[in-house]
Amino acid sequence: MREVDSVFWSRALTELTLSFHIIFATIGVGVPLMILIAQYVGYKKNDMHYTMMARRWARGYTITVAVGVVTGTIIGLQLSLLWPQFMEVAGQVIAIPLFMETFAFFFEAIFLGIYLYTWDRFKNPKYHMLLLIPVSIGAAMSALFITIVNSFMNAPQGFTVKGDALIDIQPFMAMFTPAMPTKVGHVLTTAFMTVAFILAAIAAYKLLRGENHVYHKKALVLTMKLGLIFALASAVVGDFSAKYLAEYQPEKLAAAEWHFETEEGADLILFGVLDDGEIKYELRLPKMLSFLSHTDFNAEVIGLDQFPEDEHPPLIIHYFFDIMVSIGVFMILLSAIFVLGKWRNWSFVEARWFRWLIVLGGPLSVIAIEAGWWLAEMGRQPWILYGIMRTAEGATTATGVEYLFIAFAVVYFILGVGSVVILHRMFKNNPIDKELNSRQDGEGSWH
Amino acid sequence: MALEILGISVLWLFLFGYVIVASIDFGAGFFNAYSLLRGNHQTLTKIIKRYLSPVWEITNVFLVFFFVGVVGFFPQTAYYYGTVLIVPASIALILLAIRGSYYAFEAYSGVSGHKGYALAYGISGLFIPAALSVVLTISEGGFVNMDSGHPKLDYGALFASPLSWSIVVLSIVAVLYISAVFLTWYAHKAGEHEATEVMRKYALIWAGPLIVSAFGIIIEMRQLNNWHYENMFDVWWLFALSGLLFAGTVYFIYKRIRYNWALVLLIVQFALAFFAYGVSHYPYLLYPYLTIHDSFTNEAMAIALVVVFIAGLALLIPSLYLVFRLFVFNKEYVSGKSDHHV
Ligand code: HDD
Ligand code: HEM
Ligand code: HEM
């Protein structure tokens, strides 16, 4: 009984930490690229507003990076604390990308430190801008390496199990699993998409609040355009992810789609509720599931009936899938209409209600990220290492994890509230008008 | 050289790096809080912030590097230490999280904090080394039992052990001493005369307790007369050399001369003691359950890790050099003449 508790609370604590970390990690991956783009546009067009965008985003970024770093440190150590038996096994095969990740962090941290503290220090501003390239690469590499580890958990390879031992270990084989290309691609594109929409939401909010400055309008157009590009890319790569699942983890896809019986020409089921195994109130798109999984309306799609009961993932992941995809489609439409509207001068894209929709898009994108991870991680259950080790076998045998859960929950609450309050104060005390004026008067740096 | 020796040496080197840079950081927080209480806070705060702001994240990566590297080279440690350390390591993590983010909130936001927070910040910096130093105590053996095949930490023995308390005291005193010597040098370089004098005084104050607590541990170990004491005796000359260097640092600081040499001797002194300690711990990672030989990863992984490590260093060393040139050895920056914060 006590062991069951440990497993339950280890899962809960992992979920909590990762769900919190992923918000800051996503921002950490996306923001450097956005800063780089803004600074580049500012440099090319010689437009102070874009340079100012880069500068203000970078300032906010210092806060989210800090929370990203501390929560990342927590999860990094927590993996060994909560899943010691899993890490003992995984460490033998997949340690390389974890190790590489620390180098990526190092690299990013070093250049970020330099970038933040050398504004206007170089004679040629181009050198300062170039510092962002290693920062962006470091951030993207962090995502790449950690996602490689996660792909390994979903499609382990590069070793042979012999009794209790692992033999024939090939560390680089373990990194290039079938799950890796789609997963890495989807994680990166969704991170860029989410950050673009968060920044767009902030610009739209400022406009709604009456700071009717052309700076915010430029920011809004730039970020919505970038958002559209990355949202389209996310959907395309997301579709590849589903095709990967159909091929390699069919039970995850089947649970996500509530596809219980193997059949040809399978329907795609959206939303709905389960009543005693009956699907009700759903939206049914005929034969779409076959098409999505195999690009063929009549292809056979494997259902949950092909798998033993105790290997079925929880059916709740259906909702996570629907939430993620709906948000993805909604954001594509919203940003496409905005970009088209700007081009064709449709006045409603400047209306208050439309701007409120853009404000909503920021948090919605974050929700899509969370839903996507819950889908991916819960959909792997009951496995911690797909087909090799069950989650219950990987958990710690120590007791009392529930108290740690409470303690960490309090910490994340403080960090979450703290970062929101600080970010809010930082920009409220220093609105764009004031900063532009003081810079034009040649005043010293901001404090 | 055998790969496991290479692996543990690299990890030990990074842990040493963390011990030094983190000590400076933790000690600085404490001195800052203390000077706030004393009311002479303006002199110190500026100088401390100027050093810490661009580097605190880099400090953290040293720690991450160490624990990720250990699991890579010695996967079994994840199982033993992961299971027994769950409470002490979680405490350290929580303190690190609160402390790190609070620092960033205050330093980067331009929103100035509150006296109470600064105090909490300063004090938490002393609890973190205390919590982390428990690992050293546990590794000596005698605190972990096997309970139906799984390792379990014996908290009663841990709290009752004079050795564990001596290690805690040493870790705190070392933090204060290392930090004070470093900041003396840094303030001197910045031309902040007043701050230099204050830090010099702290360095001299903490030198005494440092040497007393270091001897305390040796005596403790001798009384236990355990395996480790005998091994330490074999490398007594390293410890003796370290003691000599310590005397050198104190001499320079006392005479107010050659602060840069004082700092160099300090680092070498700690490096010698740290490596002598590590060597005498050989071959155990956790006495008597884990040695570096039987917990070592497979050969393919070990070679891959070493290759990645060398490639990584080729990337890092030039970048670190750049940071030091810009922020630590750059006179303009150190003396506060050039401030280019975003
Ligand atoms: C802004 C966030 C976002 C948006 C709009 C989408 N996704 Fe997504 N999705 C993610 C964020 C995400 C993620 C957080 O990045 C996940 C979690 C794990 C992973 O690899 O990526 C993910 C996982 C994930 C998986 C599971 C992969 C696996 O478990 O191996 C599939 C099948 C899809 N996505 C498919 C889609 C499709 C068809 C979308 C159509 C628009 C879509 N996603 C939009
Ligand atoms: C189990 C999963 C994860 C672990 C163990 C982990 C570990 C860590 C660690 C240790 C840090 C702090 C590094 C430092 O000290 O600088 C960190 C920060 C970071 N992580 Fe995670 N991470 C995980 C998931 C992710 C994912 C999925 C992403 C990207 C999609 C990500 C992206 C980042 C980024 C970009 C940072 C740097 C902080 C920032 O820029 O905001 N991490 N992570
Ligand atoms: C290095 C990559 C990763 C590792 C080693 C890892 C490890 C684990 C482990 C050990 C569990 C517990 C098993 C379970 O109960 O599901 C888990 C679950 C979970 N992970 Fe991952 N994870 C990784 C990446 C991520 C990332 C990047 C996220 C993003 C947020 C994430 C989110 C979750 C969530 C939400 C759960 C809970 C699922 C559930 O309820 O069962 N994981 N992961």
In a domain, A120, yes or no: yes
Q: What percent of chain A has pLDDT over 90?
A: 32
Contact B316 A106 (CB under 8 A): yes
User: Which parts of A86-220 are beta strand (E)?
Assistant: 160-162, 165-167
In a domain, B340, yes or no: no
In this prediction, residue A446 carries a pLDDT of 37
Instruction: Using a CB–CB cutoff of 8 Å, tell me whether A222 touches chain B.
Output: no
In a domain, A292, yes or no: no
In a domain, B339, yes or no: no
In this prediction, residue A369 carries a pLDDT of 95
- What is the spatial distance between Cα B24 and Cα B144, in angstroms, rounded to a whole number? 32
In a domain, A143, yes or no: yes
Whether the predicted pLDDT of B184 surpasses 70:
yes
Whether the predicted pLDDT of B70 surpasses 50:
yes
In this prediction, residue A226 carries a pLDDT of 94
In a domain, B100, yes or no: yes
Interval B300-327 mean pLDDT? 83
Whether the predicted pLDDT of B324 surpasses 70:
yes
Instruction: Using a CB–CB cutoff of 8 Å, tell me whether B307 touches chain A.
Output: no
Report whether A134 contacts A108 (CB < 8 A): yes
In this prediction, residue B330 carries a pLDDT of 66
Range in A23-32, A276-285, A332-341, B120-129 the model is least confident about:
A276-285
Best probe of the A interface among B59, B79, B114, by most A CBs < 10 A, is B79
Whether the predicted pLDDT of B165 surpasses 60:
yes
Interval A230-257 mean pLDDT? 85
Q: How far is the CA of A321 from the centre of ligand 1 (A)?
A: 8
Q: How far is the CA of A34 from the centre of ligand 1 (A)?
A: 21
Our answer on whether the CB atom of B60 is closer than 6 Å to any ligand 2 atom is yes
Contact A67 B101 (CB under 8 A): yes
Contact B57 A71 (CB under 8 A): no
**Alpha carbon of A227: minimum distance to chain B alpha carbons (Å):** 25
Instruction: Using a CB–CB cutoff of 8 Å, tell me whether A99 touches chain B.
Output: yes
- Residues in contact with A416: Cβ distance below 8 Å, sequence separation at least 6, in sequence order: A20
In a domain, B146, yes or no: yes
Confidence label for A443 from pLDDT (cuts 50, 70 and 90): very low
- What is the spatial distance between Cα A335 and Cα A230, in angstroms, rounded to a whole number? 10
Instruction: Using a CB–CB cutoff of 8 Å, tell me whether A169 touches chain B.
Output: yes
Whether the predicted pLDDT of B222 surpasses 50:
yes
- What is the spatial distance between Cα B38 and Cα A300, in angstroms, rounded to a whole number? 77
Enter the tokens of residue A21: 């970390």
Of A69, A92, A101, the CB nearest to B301: A92
Interval B244-268 mean pLDDT? 82
Report whether B85 contacts B135 (CB < 8 A): yes
In this prediction, residue A3 carries a pLDDT of 59
Best probe of the B interface among A13, A61, A88, A176, by most B CBs < 10 A, is A88
- What is the spatial distance between Cα A297 and Cα A287, in angstroms, rounded to a whole number? 5
Identity at A303, one-letter amino acid code = G
Whether the predicted pLDDT of A140 surpasses 90:
yes
Residue-wise pLDDT tens digits, B266-309 = 888 888 888 888 888 778 877 778 888 888 887 888 888 888 88
Whether the predicted pLDDT of A296 surpasses 70:
yes
In a domain, A289, yes or no: no
Q: What is the mean pLDDT of chain B?
A: 81
- What does the DSSP 8-state code read for residue A118? B
In a domain, B342, yes or no: no
Contact A111 B319 (CB under 8 A): yes
Confidence label for A146 from pLDDT (cuts 50, 70 and 90): very high
Report whether B62 contacts B21 (CB < 8 A): yes
Number of domains in chain B: 1
Q: Model ipTM? A: 0.85
Of A99, A110, A407, the CB nearest to B323: A110
Whether the predicted pLDDT of A61 surpasses 80:
yes
Interval A359-381 mean pLDDT? 92
**Which residue has the least CA distance to atom 39 on ligand 3?**
A378
Ligand 3 proximal residues by C-beta, below 6 Å: A 11, 14-15, 18-19, 22, 79, 83, 86, 146, 149-150, 153, 373-374, 377-378, 381, 384, 391
- What is the spatial distance between Cα B48 and Cα B38, in angstroms, rounded to a whole number? 16
Closest-CA residue of B relative to A404 is B90
Number of domains in chain A: 1
Confidence label for B141 from pLDDT (cuts 50, 70 and 90): confident
Say which residue, B47 or A11, is predicted with more confidence: A11
Partners of A274 in the β-ladder: A279
- Residues in contact with A43: Cβ distance below 8 Å, sequence separation at least 6, in sequence order: A51, A125, A126, A129
Q: What is the mean pLDDT of chain A?
A: 84
Q: How many helices (H) and strands (E) would you count in chain A?
A: 15, 10
- What is the spatial distance between Cα A366 and Cα A193, in angstroms, rounded to a whole number? 10
In this prediction, residue B300 carries a pLDDT of 81
Residue-wise pLDDT tens digits, A303-313 = 777 777 777 78
Contact A77 B67 (CB under 8 A): yes
Residue-wise pLDDT tens digits, A79-116 = 988 898 888 888 888 888 988 898 888 888 888 888 88
- The distance of Cα B189 from the centroid of its chain, to the nearest Å, equals 23
Maximum CA pair distance of chain A? 74
Report whether A282 contacts A270 (CB < 8 A): yes
| Parent domain of B240 | 3-334
Whether the predicted pLDDT of A238 surpasses 80:
yes
Contact residues, chain B, for A87 at CB < 8 Å: 71, 75, 78-79, 82
Whether the predicted pLDDT of A57 surpasses 80:
yes
**Alpha carbon of B221: minimum distance to chain A alpha carbons (Å):** 29
Residue-wise pLDDT tens digits, A158-186 = 888 877 777 777 888 888 988 889 999 99
In a domain, B276, yes or no: yes
- What does the DSSP 8-state code read for residue A154? H
In this prediction, residue B335 carries a pLDDT of 63
Contact A95 B341 (CB under 8 A): no
Instruction: Using a CB–CB cutoff of 8 Å, tell me whether B83 touches chain A.
Output: yes
- Residues in contact with A195: Cβ distance below 8 Å, sequence separation at least 6, in sequence order: A26, A27, A29, A30, A31, A33, A34
**Which residue has the least CA distance to atom 12 on ligand 3?**
A11
Burial of B320 (0-12, 13-18, 19+ CB in 10 A): middle
In a domain, B14, yes or no: yes
**Which residue has the least CA distance to atom 31 on ligand 2?**
A25
The Cα-based distances of B305 to A71, A151, A209, B2, B294 in angstroms read 25, 20, 53, 14, 18
| Parent domain of A229 | 2-262+302-441
Partners of A278 in the β-ladder: A275
Residue-wise pLDDT tens digits, A390-432 = 887 888 877 778 888 999 999 999 889 988 888 888 887 777 7
In a domain, A322, yes or no: yes
Enter the tokens of residue A394: 């990987």
In this prediction, residue B276 carries a pLDDT of 83
In a domain, B275, yes or no: yes
Pocket test for ligand 3, best of A4, A9, A14, A105 (most atoms within 8 A of CB): A14
Helices A84-116 and A132-154, axial angle in degrees (round to 10): 170
As a 3-state breakdown, chain B gives helix, strand, coil percent values, each rounded to 5, of: 80, 5, 15
Contact B64 A91 (CB under 8 A): no
